[in-house]
Structure formats: C-alpha cells, structure tokens
A and B are shown apart, each in its own frame.
Chain A
Amino acid sequence: MALELQPPDGRKRVKVYELRNNDWFDRGTGFCTGQVLDEIPQIFVESEDEPNRVLLETKILKDGYQKQQETLIVWTEHNGTDMALSFQEAEGCAVIWEFVNSVQQQLPGLAAPDDALSDDLESYQSIVLPAPELGNLPDIEQMVRAASMTQPGRDALSKFIIRDEYINKLVPLVTMAEDLESLVDLHRLCNIMKSLILLNDNTIIETVVADQIILGVVGALEYDPEFPALKANHRQYLADQSRYKEVVPIRDAMIRMKIRNTWRLQYLKDVVLARILDDPTFSVLNSLIFFNQMEIVNHIQSNGPFLRELFSVFDPRNADAKRKDDAVQFLHQCAAIAKNLQAPSRAQLFGNFISHGLFAVIAFAVKHPNPAMRTTGIDILVALLDHDPVMMRGYMLKAVNEKKTPLTDTLIDLLHAETDLGVKNQLADAIKILLDPQIPLQDPLGRAGPDYFKVRSSNLLSDAFVQQHFDESSKRIFQPLKQLADRESLNDLTFQEVTLYAHLVDILTFFVRQHLFRTRNSIQSENLAPRVTQLLAAPQKHLKLVALKFFRTLISLQDTFYQALMTHNNTFGMILDIVLETMPRDNLLNSACLELFEFIKRENIKPFIVHVVEKYRDKLEQITYVDTFQSLTMRFEQLQGYSAEAEADSALFSQEEGSTPRRMPLNGQRWQGVKGLDVDEERYFETADDDDEDEWIQEDRSSLSVGTPNGSTPLMLKPLVDYPDDDDDEDAMDTNKTDSLANPAEGDPLNLPDVEAEASSEADATPPSPAQTPPVPERLAEKRRRDEEDEDELGKLAAGPKRRSSTSSNSSAGILNRKKNLSIGSDKGTAALGGNASAAPKRIAINLGPAKSSVSEDDKSCTEVSNDGNEKENRDDSQGNEDG
C-alpha cells in the first residue's frame, strides 16, 4: 500500500498517559511527531529530558481514536491499553489529529462491512472464561471486570459469551448458591450478570430475556451487593403469568414471544437496572424494545381476522362488559406504543383501526360510567389527534357534511355534563384541537399515510363551510357562558360551574390566539366579551385570572376589533378594580394585572392608554404603590402633546427582548410537542448552530447594554442605519407586525366594520419607520432570533392546551441522540474558564459530535475508552455542569 501521506512537520509538545488500574499514568513529557516508517504510519513521542528515549511509538490503527476537548487524543492500543496524548497547544493536537485522520482514510478495508467480525482477532487478546462453578466465581468476576475495562476486551468478551452460550451455564449456579445460602456467591453472580448486561451487546441482551434464562438472570440480580441486606423479588413479578391479558388470542407464537420479551426488557430497563443503566445500555434496551414493538404492531394491524375479532367485542349484542373494557385498554396500549413508531407505520395502524370502527369504540369509552374508562377513551382520541389533527378534522367535517352528528358535538355535550374533573380537562383539550380554528394548509410533517386518507380531500371544503361549522360549534360550546348574562350574582357559583367557565374561557382564549378572525363572529353574535368581563368579578381568584388572561391575549393581538371590545365594556374598570382590591397585597392576581398594564405601557398601545387614562383617571390616581399607572398617565399626556419623544420610545421598546407581541404562527401548524428531546437537557435546548448562537449572544448583550425594559437610554433614541430595500420589507414586517396584524384588509373575508377603520388608521400612524431599526449586525441577529422565536411562540400557543403532546414520537431519533451522547466527558467547566461571552462554552458539546463521527459510528461501543473511565468522566461532567 503506497501511502501518500504528508507527515506533519514540527514537533508538538505533549504529555503521554497510559491507563493503569483505572488511573491515568503519566509516562512523561516529550515531543510528538507523526511519521511514516516503512510505509507504516506511526505516532512517535520522544522524551523531552532524554532526547533518545522514546516515550511512545505506535502504529496508527483504523479506528478507535477520539479527540476530546481541544488538546486531547485518546485511543486504545492493539494490546488493549488505553492511551492518551495531552497536547500543550490545541494547534499541535489538531495537526496530529489531522494526520491520524488522513492515515485512516487511506487505510484499506476501513469501510468493509464485516469489519467487526474479521477484526485482526489475533491482535486482540481473545478471552476464554472457565466453565462456571461456584468455586471459580471470584476468578470469573475478576476476568469479566478486567475485560470490561477496555473496548477490545469488551468485544472479545461479548463474542465469547455469545459463542459459548455462557449465560446459560451461569444460570444454574443461582439456585445452587441459593440452596447453599451462599450470599457471597450470589453477590458475585449479580456482579457478573450486571457486567455482562452492561457490555451493551444486542445479542446478549436478547439472550438474557429469553424464556429459559430470564428467571435465572433476574434471580442473580436480586442479590445486589450494594444492598446486602435486601433482596428484590424480580422473579416473582416476572413469573406471574396472569399479568399478561389477552383480549383476543394472538396465534403467532413468534409475536407472543416478542410481546413477552418486550415486557421483560421494559422491566429490566425500568426496575432491575434502573439505577445502574448507563446511556449506551439504556439506548440498546430502548432500541430493542422499539423494534419489537414495531413488529408486534405491524403484525396486529395487518392481521385482518384478529382485528375483526377485536372490534366485534364491541358489538352491542355482546354482553361481556369486562371484555369490552379490556379491549379498550388493549387499543389504548396500542395507541400508546404507536406514539413511538415512525409516522407511516402509525398512520397505517390508526388507519386500520379506524376502518374497523375505532370511532365507535371511542364513543363507547367516553360515555362509559367509569371515569377511568372515559379517560382511557379520550386518551385514544388524543393520540389520534396528536398523530394527525388534519385527518381527524377531516372526519369531523365529513360527518357534518353528511348531516351526521359530528364527534365535536358529542364531546361538547360531554364537557358540559362531565363531573370528573380529570376527564373534563381532557375533553377541553380534545375540543381545542378538533376545533382549532387554524387549519393547516399542508401537512408539514409529511405524514403521508396510505390511501385510507382519501378523507383528507374533505379539507378542500370551502372556507365558508369551515367557518359555518366553527360558528355552530362555538355557539354550542359557549352556550353556558352566554347564559351568564341572566345571572345576577356570581357569588353562588358551584364548583362544577367554576370549572366549566374556566375551561370555556380558556378555550375561547385559545381560539382567539390561534386565529385572528375566525372567532370574531361568535364573540360578536354571542356577545361573549361582556360575559368574560363579568367573570372578572367572580369571587374565585383563579377564575378571575383566567378571564384576565383572555383580555391579556386580546391586548397582545393589537387588533382594532378586539381593542374596541375591550374599550366598550367596562373591562378596564373591572381590571383596575382588581388592582385596587388586591392593592395592599402582593399576589399573583395583582402581578398579572400589573403585567397587563406594563405591557400596554411598554408597547405604547395608544387606544388603550387614551381610553384608560381618560375614563379611569381617578382610579389610576389612587394606585401609587407602583409607578406603572403614573407612567401611563404620563404617556397619555405625552400623547396629547404628541412629542417626538414618545414616538422614539415606542420604537425602542418594540425591539426589546420579551416585549414583542405574540404573533400568529405563520404556517398554521399546531405545536407538536418538543422535537428530538430525549437525552438530556442541554441537548434538548440546543437547537441553533454555533453561528447563530454567537449572534444570539451578541444581540442579547447589546440589548442589555442598551436599556432595560423600563429604561430609555438616550443613546438609542437616535434613528439608526438605513438599510437595503428587500430586507427592509421583511424587517418592517418584523418590527411592525402589530400593524400587519391590525390591518383588517389582509386576506380575510371578514373585514372589520367601518366603525373601526378610524381606530385602525390611528394605529397605523404609530409604526416606527424603518429608519429606526437597529444597526446591521444586530438586525441580522435579531432576524435569526426571531426565526427561532417562532418556534417558541408555537410552543407557547400549544402550551395553551396544557396537554402532553407526543413528545416521544421520535424515539428512533432519540436512540441516535443517545448514542451520540455517550460522549467522552465534555468538560464544560474547563471550557467555560476560557470563555467570556464570546467564547461560548456551548461549543464544547458540539465539537464532540464531529470528533465522534470520525470514529466508526456503527460500532456502538467503540467510543468508550473504558467503562469505568467513561463513567468517571461522566461524573466529572455532571459535576461541572449538572442541570437541575
């Protein structure tokens, strides 16, 4: 093999470490070079003190190298020894790392698929354990532990364990030791078993849960030496056959076995190993469970006779109530599992269920006398809604079109009547999604199911039809709210009523937030706003709070129609009354009111400022314990005087963090839960790439120095840079989105009544001109940030429904994440030392990614230097940056 390699020039100062007994032994300091000797690429380190002494001479292997942080290269030698080079300079490390990489690229056979099997076996020590007897358990434990330390050792051990069916041989010893009451041996067996499972080998774990072995394995694990005084009773649990419920017999023996094994895997994951699982093993377990479940579900949904039998359980002629309940629970479990599947299989499963009559089952369950069954029924419904709200709305509208009673009507009636508060809660959430006034234009997740979803074409129903249905449903759902009008006092509200009103106002708030226009009809025709105002006077504080939230949402929409609603009724008077009532106290309600007025002040919403000050001046003057209201009055006076200052102020404020009004999500998709969060918090929130983050922080810092929320620093009052045209437009959208929202003419049939045109034109007079936008770099940053913000806003919108969305829908991705996450101690603490804000510590987490991916990704465990070492690192890691 002719290597065309350019060995790096220059000598890099480096420390050489070797892992001995779990400690990094310092072999000395020297100078590192990469060389090609006799066509064999090598890394050399010559001692610094005695130039002729070679500290390290190693042939570069095909894989197994890792770069950690900026200055560390770690790998495992042929003989299984773990080595590390710690460079003085990051630059030196990079040079050697590059050399290693280029060598690896030219080494033949690197990508060979049978790589793992045809490994130079002779170069790894192969491991043979003695046939297990109680007498040699100490030796076995020792050998297993030693082999587990290094990756080659682990590989070799795994191969031996599988080839020799070693676990089968170990299992009989458990009962033997129990008979002899030899706790020492049982503890050893437990340790051995743990180590074998933590080898993270798929095959081993699959073996472990097999019928003839599982009880022996968990039997050993019952004797945890960490809890010498205790014994778990895993066997008792797992041996209990009655835990498995079979509504309709599954005849395929293979599938039955998978079901059993999956249950055991879950038990291993959740109970037996819960404390000791490391991330890699956790992901191996998860992926095994995932693939089993996929097979099970595929089997079920393609098994026509089975499904027919299953759904025939619900035949009204069938009197077996218990069996019906079980069948509902069976379906519920299917739905729960389906959440973890990939979208197409999930679509197929649900499609099959629906065609067999799932809706009838849901209808059966939600009317069940037992609240627990109602909960289960709605859970299934919610799973469907999470999966594909568009499809569900399609079915609903189709029913309306065919003059059948749509599901929504049923649910609304149930919501009004339901007394179980948990169920009521769920019903409210389900209704929100079903009636979500915002119809997604397309299916952004590409949940293109098979042909069952012809029904989707009904989405093409005219907007007028959708509007009509929405209006009718709204009328139905808000009926109880409307009836409040006849009520003289709210002092005699029952608990159930309070709950119902809270839900209704919450739903109304959601509708208003989701769609600027759709809800107007019903609010107008049903005269709902005065009813919500009425609730501001309810004695129940949390009900007041819900009503307040409704108005706070209206305000944030900055829409003239809603502004008119708020200024017509005595709404602000009522809100001010709450402030006055709670005034000496500092409580949640009081803070919520203040926040509302602070928002008006910050956003400089003139119609409100004028209305509030003109109409309620005497009330405002009574409130002096915070200066919010004085400044409102001042704003008002400025407005009257129309000073340029106020203008500038508003421009400033509209750019501030957190002061941007909520925006309508543009693509109209309901929030689907948090994507790809699986492993750990840091990862969870890491969405942006490096660049963005830098921008981000820059932006944030600048806004810090520029002014605090209530501050107006004269610096910023100056108009800033002019900007190229095309961008200007976009930016105008950004900073002036209030206007575009308030602009009634924009693409909606339901124009504002003429009366409000005046108000809206007044609002139009306010907008800051493009000339007031911040300077260039910040603007770019801001735009990016806003893009991200969109997601967050979506999040907030959906946080409205307060419902758990299918966050686990991407567990496969989660597995990948997890795999990546078995990082080698990302030492954020160290990194942070170097970092003031510009060197964001975050990137440490990121640069592990590439370093790792250069290592063979297929080999699940090759990245681990050694189990213990790794764990230690992890520990350090968590020490440095543990999240709470």
Chain B
Amino acid sequence: MSDLDRAIEQLRACRLIPESQVRELCYKARELLIEEGNVVSVDAPVTICGDIHGQFHDLMELFRVGGDVPDTNYLFMGDFVDRGFYSLESFLLLLCLKVRYPDRMTLIRGNHESRQITTVYGFYDECIRKYGSANVWRYCCEVFDYLALGAIVLGASSELEPTSSSANDTTQSTMPIDDSELETEVLNSRGEVTMSTYRQRQRSSSDASTDSRNISPPRDISAAPGQTGAPYKSGAPGTGAGGDSNGSAATSRTGAVLCVHGGLSPLIDSVDKIRLIDRKQEVPHEGAMCDLLWSDPDEIEGWGLSPRGAGFLFGGDIVKRFNHLNGLSLVARAHQLVMEGYKEMFDGGIVTVWSAPNYCYRCGNVAAILELGEDASNGGIVARSNGEYGRSNGVMGADSLNTVVSPGRRYRVFEAAAQDTRGMPAKKPVADYFL
C-alpha cells in the first residue's frame, strides 16, 4: 500500500495526516493542477457536487450515495472548507483522491478557497487548532491558487436510463408518454425515484427547428463575437453525434455543461475568455475571476448588483444568451444554499447544486448531487482532454440552427450523515493553555 493510499485510508477515518505529508501532498497536487486549464474538460458520465464546507461526515455520506472514487467520476465545484468543523479532513481527502485518481476527480475553486475568506470563516483557525501553526493553511492556500476556475462536461446523454426501483406511491411525475424520453429524475438516498419528468423526443431537424430555443440571436447583440475578433470559433461540437440531425432521436445534440462555482461574469462572453485569465492568484475583489466565483443567478433581467458585495446577479436572459453563444445546454453551479439540494432556474438553463446537508449543522436542508449520464451513441470514446488542446471544444458555436438539448439529469438527494456514523460534530479544543 502506497503512502498515498495509506493517507486516504487515514483521512477516510477522519484522522489527520502529519504536516510533512500534507506538504508533500500539496506539492504533488500543485504539479498536477498546473497542467489543468482554467476550464477543465470532463467527459460524462460525471457526478457534479456543490459546496461541502468541511462537513466531513456528510461528504462520506455523499460518497456512499453517489458511489466511491474511482468508480464514480466526480466533479466538485468548490467551497470545500470553512463553516463546518472538518475542513482539513474534507479538503485533504479530496486532494488525496485527486492526486491518486487525477482522471476521476475534478476540483474547481470556490470563493472560500481564498486566504481572506478562510481567515474569517474557520479554516485558518482550524489549521492552527489542529496543527499548531499556520503552515498547513499556507500549503493549502497555495493549492487553492492552482485550482481550475471551471469545467466543461462533454458527451452527456440527453436521455436517462430509467431507474428501476421507484418508491411507487410517492412518485410524482409527468406522464410518461409514448415517444418521450426521461429528462430528469430525482432519487432519495435509498435510490428510490421520487420524481421524474419526460420530454418529447427530438425527432427530426425540421421538428427541432420549431423549438422556441432555436431563434438565432439578433446580430447586434453587443457581445457578438464575430465583431470583436475574440477567440471564438465555430469549432467542432463538443459532444455527441456529429453532423446534421437525420431524424433519429440519438442525433439531437446534447450541449456541453459549464460548471463553475458562482456564475457568469459580464466580462466573460465566451468560455474561451475564461482561458485568458492568469488564475494563479488570490481571488481578486473584482473582475472576471472574481465574478465566476461569486455571482448568483436571480429573477432579474440583465445584470444586477450582488448583495454579497462581490460578483453580480444575472438574469435568465443572460444565461440564455451565454448558453446559446457557447453551445451550452446548462450551467451547473453551487454557491447558494438551496433547501431541496438542487434548484433549476430559467427553464433549466442553470442549476444550483448544494451538497452540504443540514448546513452549518442547523439549516435543516437536504443536499444533492447531479449525475450526468454518458451518451451511449458515441461509444464513450471522447478522451478526457484535460490539458490537451481543447479550445472551442464544447463550444457548439455558430451553427445555431441546431437545437441544443439539455442533458438528462439525475439528482440524488441525501440527508446529513446518521449520528452513529459521525458522532457529535465538534471542534477540537486547544490542547494546552498558558493564558
């Protein structure tokens, strides 16, 4: 058993690894993360998770519900630390798994992965408390600076394979009609289906062109890429079946999914713009990088001032335009507590995923993770292009006459870990005191 495996074992048992090992881990992680683009490409199937916030036992519950690493391919959208009492254990475990299974674990940066924020919301104090000095905190913060800012999920299937076991009587769903496909499914932590929705199967390109989403944008949209000479390309579709729709259901394109902690930025009109950020820095107080980590969707039009004092609020029109211009079918983000664990907004254009159940040990919310299936039609052969030249991949681009279909979404909802598995959550008291 390698040191790394041993460390993973130890951390899974919620026991810390020695400082020297943390340091080594952080250096290894740095080597790995420096090779990742600002926007990492990830291939479906993937399980997307939101905020964890140091709730270690609930993270273990997440792995129980979602499947273990490396069997399940995970994407965590930041905010691993602060608030909960086990930020160190949680983050170090995730980092170990990242180093051990780099292709099965993607970590992107949240607004709490920052020096300033962690000194206020608990992670710094936890490091001091558990290691006696700020060294481990420094190592971790250094890693934070290297974390990617977002991820693009490619090759997600538009249709879910129905889950067999359903909690019969409680299932509420839209009627499964003939010739419809399963679009979303919500499962409880026992794997029982509690809700499902269906949509009309996309049949032909002519049918598709009547779709309301299919209106090409007016040419004078201020951010129209052709005008700016921005690195915008009508590149190859990022996903699924190529070529024109030919009447079979399998060829409706599932657009790529952008995953980012906070949301969109007025300074970022295309995914490629994100790639032009020098991300190795403390999260700035403004600018594109800040917005990606701080913004929130809201029921407004256009952009609005964020009550958080950083980032912006953005409305459905913004999401719609962004998704359209970038060939995205969905933006997945975290950053906001949602009591049901997930919340879709703007006709499914954006979803908030929240993975910290009973947040702060008192909010009473449930958590969720989002599973995107693999598009069987391409045989799952899209290689993980992490690092490889992937620009404009996933940007469906100019071919706006084709409908972008949103991926089938399976939400697994779960509650806080049972008491007997976690004990009473508590901070570690100081060992000795002089004063």
Residues of A within 8 A of B (CB): 224, 226-227, 229-230, 232, 237, 243-247, 259, 262-263, 266-267, 270-271, 274-276, 293, 296-297, 326, 329-330, 333-334, 337, 372, 375-376, 379, 421-422, 425-426, 541-542, 545, 549, 552, 583-592, 594-596, 598, 625-628, 631, 657-658, 673-674, 677-678, 681-682, 684-687, 693, 696-697, 700-701, 703-713, 789, 792, 795-796, 799, 802, 804, 807, 828, 832-833, 835-837, 840-842, 844-845, 875, 878-879, 881-884
A627 with B277: in contact, given A247-B434, A883-B336 (CB under 8 Å)? no
Q: Are B361 and A875 in contact (CB under 8 A)?
A: no
Distance (whole angstroms) from the CB of B414 to the closest CB of chain A: 18
CA gap between A202 and B269 in the complex, in Å? 54
Q: Are B281 and A799 in contact (CB under 8 A)?
A: yes
Q: Specify the chain A residue showing the minimal Cβ separation from B222.
A: A705
- A-B residue pairs in contact (CB < 8 Å), sample of 8: A245-B432, A297-B435, A587-B37, A626-B272, A657-B266, A703-B266, A879-B337, A884-B78
CA gap between A711 and B227 in the complex, in Å? 7
In the bound complex, residues from chain B placing their C-beta under 8 Å from that of A275 are 361-362, 424-426
Within 8 Å of chain A (Cβ to Cβ): is B18? Answer: no
Q: Are A678 and B120 in contact (CB under 8 A)?
A: yes
A421 with B23: in contact, given A230-B424, A271-B426 (CB under 8 Å)? yes
Interface size class of B (residues with CB under 8 A): 35 or more
Within 8 Å of chain A (Cβ to Cβ): is B391? Answer: yes
Interface centre among A259, A586, A625, A835 (most CB of B within 10 A): A586
Within 8 Å of chain A (Cβ to Cβ): is B30? Answer: yes
In the bound complex, residues from chain B placing their C-beta under 8 Å from that of A274 are 85, 425-427
Interface centre among B19, B287, B310, B432 (most CB of A within 10 A): B432
Q: Which residue in B300, B309, B423 is a CB contact (below 8 Å) of A686?
A: B309
Q: Specify the chain B residue showing the minimal Cβ separation from A275.
A: B361
Q: Are B119 and A586 in contact (CB under 8 A)?
A: no
Q: Are A425 and B435 in contact (CB under 8 A)?
A: no
In the bound complex, residues from chain B placing their C-beta under 8 Å from that of A552 are 278
Q: Are B309 and A684 in contact (CB under 8 A)?
A: yes
Distance (whole angstroms) from the CB of A252 to the closest CB of chain B: 13
Q: Are A804 and B119 in contact (CB under 8 A)?
A: yes
Q: Are A372 and B336 in contact (CB under 8 A)?
A: no
Distance (whole angstroms) from the CB of B262 to the closest CB of chain A: 8
CA gap between A583 and B275 in the complex, in Å? 13
A330 with B424: in contact, given A422-B23, A585-B388 (CB under 8 Å)? no
CA gap between A674 and B277 in the complex, in Å? 25
Q: Specify the chain A residue showing the minimal Cβ separation from B35.
A: A587
Within 8 Å of chain A (Cβ to Cβ): is B102? Answer: no
Within 8 Å of chain A (Cβ to Cβ): is B56? Answer: no
In the bound complex, residues from chain A placing their C-beta under 8 Å from that of B35 are 541, 585, 587-588
In the bound complex, residues from chain B placing their C-beta under 8 Å from that of A262 are 435
Distance (whole angstroms) from the CB of A84 to the closest CB of chain B: 23
Distance (whole angstroms) from the CB of A680 to the closest CB of chain B: 9
In the bound complex, residues from chain B placing their C-beta under 8 Å from that of A711 are 222-223, 227-228, 230
CA gap between A705 and B223 in the complex, in Å? 9
Q: Are A804 and B284 in contact (CB under 8 A)?
A: no
Q: Which residue in B390, B420, B428 is a CB contact (below 8 Å) of A229?
A: B420
In the bound complex, residues from chain A placing their C-beta under 8 Å from that of B275 are 586, 591, 594
In the bound complex, residues from chain A placing their C-beta under 8 Å from that of B284 are 792, 796
CA gap between A279 and B409 in the complex, in Å? 38
In the bound complex, residues from chain A placing their C-beta under 8 Å from that of B288 are 658
Within 8 Å of chain A (Cβ to Cβ): is B267? Answer: yes
Q: Which residue in B132, B261, B267 is a CB contact (below 8 Å) of A372?
A: B132
Q: Are A837 and B120 in contact (CB under 8 A)?
A: no
Q: Specify the chain B residue showing the minimal Cβ separation from A884.
A: B335
In the bound complex, residues from chain A placing their C-beta under 8 Å from that of B19 are 422
Of B59-67, B107-115, B166-174, the one with at least 4 CB within 8 A of chain A: B107-115
Q: Specify the chain B residue showing the minimal Cβ separation from A800.
A: B282
In the bound complex, residues from chain A placing their C-beta under 8 Å from that of B334 are 884
Within 8 Å of chain A (Cβ to Cβ): is B368? Answer: no
Q: Are B304 and A841 in contact (CB under 8 A)?
A: yes
Distance (whole angstroms) from the CB of A204 to the closest CB of chain B: 22
